[in-house]
Amino acid sequence: MSATEVRGVGHSVPRKEDARFVRGKGIYFDDIKLPGMLYLELLRSPFAHARIRSIDVSRAQELPGVVAVVTGELMAQHNLAWMPTLSGDTQAVLATDKVRFQGQEVAAVVAESPYIAKDALELIEVDYEPLPAVTTPQRALEEDAPLIRDDKEGQTSNSIYHWEAGDREATDRAFAEADRVVTLETFYPRCHPAPLECCGCVADVNPATGKATIYMTSQAPHAHRTLFALVAGLPEQQIRIVSPDIGGGFGNKVPIYPGYVVATAASLLLGRPVKWVEDRTGNLISTGFARDYHMKGELALKGNRIVGLRTHLLSDNGAFYADAQPTKCRAGLFHIVTGSYDIPAAHVVADGAYTNKAPGGVAYRCSFRVTEASYLIERLVDTAAHELGADPAEFRLQNFIKPEQFPYTSATGFVYDSGDYGRAMEMALDMLGYRELRREQEEARKEGRLLGIGLASFTEVLGAGPGKHYDIAGLRMFDSAELRVHPTGKAILKLGVRTQGQGHETTFAQIVAEELGIPYEDVEVQEGDTDNTPYGLGTYASRSTPVAGGATAVISRKLRDKARQIAAHLLECAPDDLEWERGRFYVRGAPERTKTIQEVAFAAYTNLPDGMEAGLEGVHYYDPPNMTFPFGTYGVVVEIDRGTGQWKPLKVVAVDDCGVRINPMIVEGQIMGGLTEGYAIAAMELITFDEEGNCIGSNFMDYLIPTAAETPSFELGATETPSPHHPLGAKGVG
């Protein structure tokens, strides 16, 4: 069978899942309707910081159709008023003592319809005592700042953590010996993933069996099952999480939110299914955000060479420390801040603070806080080039890590797997017409026009591993794949990750096609049901291909090894005498003596060698030996109106190297999505707060999302530098 017929790795085959989506046949959690289902709505605080004097729910309870009104006091009676966060902190499920951010959950109504539940919310009377709000981490760390987490024993300030990476002494020496020091202070403001589908769940706890089936918008269903068991005290084998089709995630659907917990508790106590559907404002003001980093960076220079980097970041973590990130990394993987540059010495200092804002920094459009790190180093490098009077492209090329230096150990401890940064940069410059553009820029300025040319090179770090170094909430960051080949040669692949639109049903089927020669159309990919898939940590931080893709390749190869033994039995030869060609085994020197993978699969159930276990299936848990390091260079040309300050992109080019591309079409779609979101954050997406902690950006009138009309066109380029340790050479492209 030819590679074209199998259509494995490297083929831009159509996405299998799109057939149902374009016909409106996707199944999302809000499509789920169960007999006797009730509806839950949450009452949210209008204040950013206020003490709760009392909550009167009597009028709400009297409204016809209301089944229950839930408060923090009631949750506390069941030891459910507080829950653990992914960063080892605690977070209020429903507020009991005071509210700590605008939009915090205060009470819930369970009713026969969502409309009754919404009406009942207006009948709940909460007596608040407003308190001064803290809306910046700088103010939070002042000695006279109001204490936000007075619920925590021994907490005397708003400081959450102090964390360092790199070598302080070596960095200080580099700065002492430097010819020049370049300094930049910058702020990457808060934004929000704003997935098309908001968060929600349908919790169904069967009173007869005790089995809890929870349909929810989860990027990590297995991890959520474990956390539910820990929070609710339910036996884990009695919990089934089903994550149906997800309408976008971008990290926003990794944390556990109070609505999930309250709906599950309500179903447990009432013995009926309970649905909670978040509205857009609830999503924007209360769920996992991105960015909100105040950063200072310094570069030590000798001539045109970077010899040292010092950074300090101050993180606004909101009212609870609920970032989704590896346990040992207090500021995510921000210490990748050395980027693509050969910097001998670096030191990173990070501090986090509580404020009266929503909690939950998530990995949005890259791995954990890597975007923030890339933003800082690229701004610093541009500033250095400007102060030196150097061309920013040439300055980067001079300071890049060279191809022969890989594997490269960075000054903050990362071991970069492979790269050729200069090649990606040169391709981007050629696509941009960079050198001609510089001449055009000078001519335009003589005419009074302003043309801006921006460059950014980046190195990401994806697929957190190995598990002995990286975990979330104590769970090691491996992932899994279970593969079964049926007697007819068709296959089912079950994964521990969960797609939110990335094309897993196609991409992972192509991996099996590549390794076993089964056409990708004959491989069904299943995800999202914890009763029917192997344990995994889920999809976020661009980890699916680096980790679950590795698991899929390895289990496919294990089954191919068994298939070789069966083929040798069928062909009456030694296994070592067989050659493999995608889709078939044949005898070396006698290519006419052959068995296809389909014939071998049938024999796995009908005609086995003596002593061999029947079947052709298995499961593999892949613990990556290292992370992967995709990279690239982007270039943008903008024109600025002198009169209004309005800017317009004229050209955007993007060169990405994500290692081996399994489906180039899907990769390009992911890159264009990321470019669109990058443009949106630069141009219009902003969540900010006034002095009282009111969220400005709580709806799509204030928090603007770009349409096709505003979004510029993109020109894409690619280089390919395989990862030497990944089974497929892939690096990931989230």
The pLDDT mean for the chain works out to 96
Same domain membership, residue 447 and residue 504: no
Same domain membership, residue 509 and residue 597: yes
Measured CA to CA in angstroms, residue 338 lies from 44, 161, 314, 412 at distances of 41, 22, 18, 8
3-state helix, strand, coil in the chain (%, to 5): 30, 30, 45
Same domain membership, residue 695 and residue 650: yes
Same domain membership, residue 566 and residue 616: yes
What would the pLDDT profile of 670-709 be if each residue is shown by its tens digit? 999 999 999 999 999 999 999 999 999 999 999 999 999 9
What would the pLDDT profile of 541-579 be if each residue is shown by its tens digit? 899 999 999 999 999 999 999 999 999 999 999 999 999
Same domain membership, residue 667 and residue 632: yes
Same domain membership, residue 722 and residue 598: no
What would the pLDDT profile of 606-660 be if each residue is shown by its tens digit? 999 999 999 999 999 999 999 999 999 999 999 999 999 999 999 999 999 999 9
Six token digits for residue 183? 């300094």
Same domain membership, residue 710 and residue 639: yes
Structural domain of 539: 3-10+465-622
Six token digits for residue 404? 């022969």
Measured CA to CA in angstroms, residue 621 lies from 464, 530, 732 at distances of 14, 15, 18
Q: Is 529 among the domain residues?
A: yes
Q: Is 368 among the domain residues?
A: no
pLDDT at residue 406 tops 80: yes
Q: Is 172 among the domain residues?
A: no
Same domain membership, residue 608 and residue 511: yes
Please provide the size of the chain in residues: 734
Q: Is 384 among the domain residues?
A: no
Domain boundary among 566, 594, 622: 622
Six token digits for residue 189? 């403001």
Q: Is 323 among the domain residues?
A: no
Same domain membership, residue 561 and residue 519: yes
Domain boundary among 622, 657, 678: 622
Q: Is 573 among the domain residues?
A: yes
**Can you say how many angstroms the Cα of residue 639 is from the centroid of all Cα atoms in its chain?**
33
Same domain membership, residue 500 and residue 438: no
Please report, rounded to a whole number, the percentage of residues in the chain having pLDDT higher than 90.
96
Six token digits for residue 515? 């390794």
What would the pLDDT profile of 542-552 be if each residue is shown by its tens digit? 999 999 999 99
Give CA–CA dist 540/502, Å, rounded.
Answer: 11
- Domain tally, the chain: 3
Give CA–CA dist 253/259, Å, rounded.
Answer: 12
Give CA–CA dist 244/264, Å, rounded.
Answer: 17
Q: Is 338 among the domain residues?
A: no
What is the arithmetic mean of pLDDT over 501-512? 97
Same domain membership, residue 547 and residue 511: yes
Domain boundary among 286, 306, 331: 286
**CATH code for the domain in which residue 567 is found:** 3.30.365.10
Q: Where are the alpha helices (DSSP H) in 332-467?
A: 370-388, 392-399, 421-432, 434-446
Measured CA to CA in angstroms, residue 711 lies from 250, 633, 705 at distances of 19, 20, 10
pLDDT at residue 3 tops 80: no
What would the pLDDT profile of 226-258 be if each residue is shown by its tens digit? 999 988 889 999 999 999 999 999 999 999 999
Same domain membership, residue 638 and residue 657: yes
**CATH code for the domain in which residue 109 is found:** 3.90.1170.50
Q: Is 387 among the domain residues?
A: no
pTM of the model: 0.96
